[in-house]
Chains A and B, each alone.
Chain A
């Protein structure tokens, strides 16, 4: 049986296109210091640091924990670097939690970051390789055909993605840290935005952001002494499957369904829409909201889009299950940190500390991340109450 663990401090940076005032270390450091402050702790209180980010090619610094040791106060401590593609922010939080849940550590710091302005994610993700056709047009090029197949199967109206794009930006406008601030966004504006990878429009895609997110995770005893309410970790799960194999279900991957079932079972959730108060789910392209609503069991297969269209996932429409109240990946996307932001924002909700995007009375929340060809999944459920 895992030891209890809880999030006792959360720190983020303001997400933006280019943080031109800090070094890579400075960016990572800022989130970490904010998390320590939130937890009322100093560097000496931290026993180990777990860091995550997406491919090293994004910043061109190989195994950056080596250079970031001092910025994160790690001299003489254990430091671990996780990399599980786009899900890495979530996986990193889970590996950090396992440091405490295993009983090996009392309190650890975890940080995930991306300083995407140092390079060009499109370049890093579609770097030509010998003997290959080099038709890889970035993440959007990869996911667009899968979205098209979802649209065909579900017979969803064409404007579901547009609605998600608007909803998440309106959420983001409540979150001062969100990269995109578009309080006046309209369906028409999204619909008229440039079609990048048909059927994905510009405003249905995530931005490219600089940013870092950090959390302090502590054991039961220290969490109970924490100055601010802890977010108790009620379930943790990861699943992976290969990128391509014959007969793979790409629209609703088995790995996502299995991962959700695992984390719900641990948290005692039988009906996620009813039992959870909100969810922070990795939605980098708007259509992934209805797709994940189904994959995560919030709606029957083929009907996820109905929840979206009913406003069930919208704070502004008073929905019963707000998704991405922080604005989500569609409002801020420092790739390596995006998963951890989902996990941290879920924790903020149950700590009652989410400011203008607080879901009133939130007690139980889901944090979700995915990566690779929608093949790596990591999830946690956090609660206001101790399990």
Chain B
């Protein structure tokens, strides 16, 4: 019994999911559409952005929204030299943990920069809005150095 040649075929597993978001995520996305960023106060008083629905320590529902700034500081970053097809940018960029002004907990988003050497932990960045905001996380198109 011979081994036949290998048969390969590419396929796409895809669906556009229709997600209901609930009041907390919904509030954040609604504010994004209006080009505002809100966080939520956790049980220990820390401001979390984007807002979590439930507190990690007490498991209680969170509800106290806090508007935060659109600028912040890079807490950590990863420099992507070769963006993948799914990535939001087609030229080198950074993923970063960004602590926005008025927030305590960093959020993760992408940072546009010309070179890795331009990005640093502690660097200030500001949100760049998409041309059209629709209430989706990518309404913040990216951050760029402030």
Direct contact of A and B (CB under 8 A): yes
Q: Which residues on A are within 8 Å of B, measured CB to CB?
A: 18-26, 29, 43, 57, 59-60, 69-73, 75, 115, 117-120, 123-124, 127-131
Q: How far is the CA of A115 from the CA of B19 in the complex (A)?
A: 9
From residue 45 to 90 of chain B, which have CB atoms closer than 8 A to chain A? 52-59
> Which of B13, B15, B54 interacts with A25 by CB under 8 Å?
B54
Contacts A23-B20, A23-B22, A124-B15 known; 4 new A-B pairs at CB < 8 A: A18-B20, A21-B20, A21-B22, A117-B20
Q: How far is the CA of A25 from the CA of B25 in the complex (A)?
A: 11
A18 contact set on B, CB distance < 8 A: 20
**Any chain A CB within 8 A of the CB of B9?**
yes
B54 touches A23 (CB 8 A): no
> Which of B13, B22, B56, B58 interacts with A22 by CB under 8 Å?
B22
Chain B min CB distance to A18 (Å) = 7
A43 contact set on B, CB distance < 8 A: 58-59
B52 touches A70 (CB 8 A): yes
Closest to B13 in A: A127
> Which of B11, B17, B56 interacts with A70 by CB under 8 Å?
B56
A75 contact set on B, CB distance < 8 A: 56-57, 59
**Any chain A CB within 8 A of the CB of B117?**
no
Contact with A along B19-50 (1 / 0, CB 8 A): 11111110000000000000000000000000
Chain B min CB distance to A155 (Å) = 43
Q: How far is the CA of A75 from the CA of B19 in the complex (A)?
A: 25
Chain A min CB distance to B44 (Å) = 13
Chain B min CB distance to A55 (Å) = 11
21 contacts between A and B (CB under 8 A): A19-B20, A21-B23, A23-B20, A23-B25, A24-B19, A26-B53, A43-B58, A57-B13, A60-B17, A70-B52, A70-B54, A70-B59, A73-B59, A118-B18, A118-B20, A120-B15, A128-B11, A130-B10, A130-B11, A131-B7, A131-B9
Q: How far is the CA of A70 from the CA of B15 in the complex (A)?
A: 26
Asked whether A123 and B15 contact (CB < 8 A) given A21-B22, A26-B22, the answer is: yes
B57 contact set on A, CB distance < 8 A: 75
Q: Which 8 A-B pairs have the closest CB atoms?
A: A73-B59, A130-B9, A23-B22, A43-B59, A26-B22, A20-B20, A22-B22, A70-B54
Q: How far is the CA of A335 from the CA of B116 in the complex (A)?
A: 47
Asked whether A25 and B9 contact (CB < 8 A) given A73-B59, A119-B17, the answer is: no
Residue from B13, B24, B59 whose CB has the most chain A CB atoms within 10 Å? B59
Q: Which residues on B are within 8 Å of A, measured CB to CB?
A: 7, 9-11, 13, 15, 17-25, 52-59
A23 touches B19 (CB 8 A): yes
Q: How far is the CA of A124 from the CA of B17 in the complex (A)?
A: 11
B13 contact set on A, CB distance < 8 A: 57, 127
Q: How far is the CA of A131 from the CA of B57 in the complex (A)?
A: 49
Chain A min CB distance to B129 (Å) = 24
A22 contact set on B, CB distance < 8 A: 20, 22
Asked whether A119 and B15 contact (CB < 8 A) given A21-B22, A70-B59, A131-B7, the answer is: yes
Closest to B58 in A: A43
B11 touches A129 (CB 8 A): yes
Closest to A75 in B: B56
Closest to A123 in B: B15
B17 touches A118 (CB 8 A): yes
Chain A min CB distance to B24 (Å) = 8
A23 touches B56 (CB 8 A): no
A59 touches B17 (CB 8 A): yes
Closest to B26 in A: A23
Residue from A23, A24, A120, A131 whose CB has the most chain B CB atoms within 10 Å? A23
B17 contact set on A, CB distance < 8 A: 59-60, 118-119
B52 contact set on A, CB distance < 8 A: 70
Chain B min CB distance to A235 (Å) = 33
Q: How far is the CA of A75 from the CA of B18 in the complex (A)?
A: 28
Asked whether A118 and B19 contact (CB < 8 A) given A130-B11, A131-B7, the answer is: yes
Q: How far is the CA of A60 from the CA of B14 in the complex (A)?
A: 9
Q: How far is the CA of A119 from the CA of B20 in the complex (A)?
A: 11
Q: How far is the CA of A129 from the CA of B11 in the complex (A)?
A: 7
Asked whether A70 and B20 contact (CB < 8 A) given A130-B11, A131-B7, A131-B9, the answer is: no
B59 contact set on A, CB distance < 8 A: 43, 70, 72-73, 75
B54 touches A29 (CB 8 A): yes
A127 contact set on B, CB distance < 8 A: 13
B20 contact set on A, CB distance < 8 A: 18-23, 115, 117-118
Closest to A127 in B: B13
B55 touches A70 (CB 8 A): yes
A60 touches B15 (CB 8 A): yes
A21 contact set on B, CB distance < 8 A: 20, 22-23
Q: How far is the CA of A207 from the CA of B56 in the complex (A)?
A: 35
A23 contact set on B, CB distance < 8 A: 19-22, 24-25, 53
B18 touches A71 (CB 8 A): no
A131 contact set on B, CB distance < 8 A: 7, 9
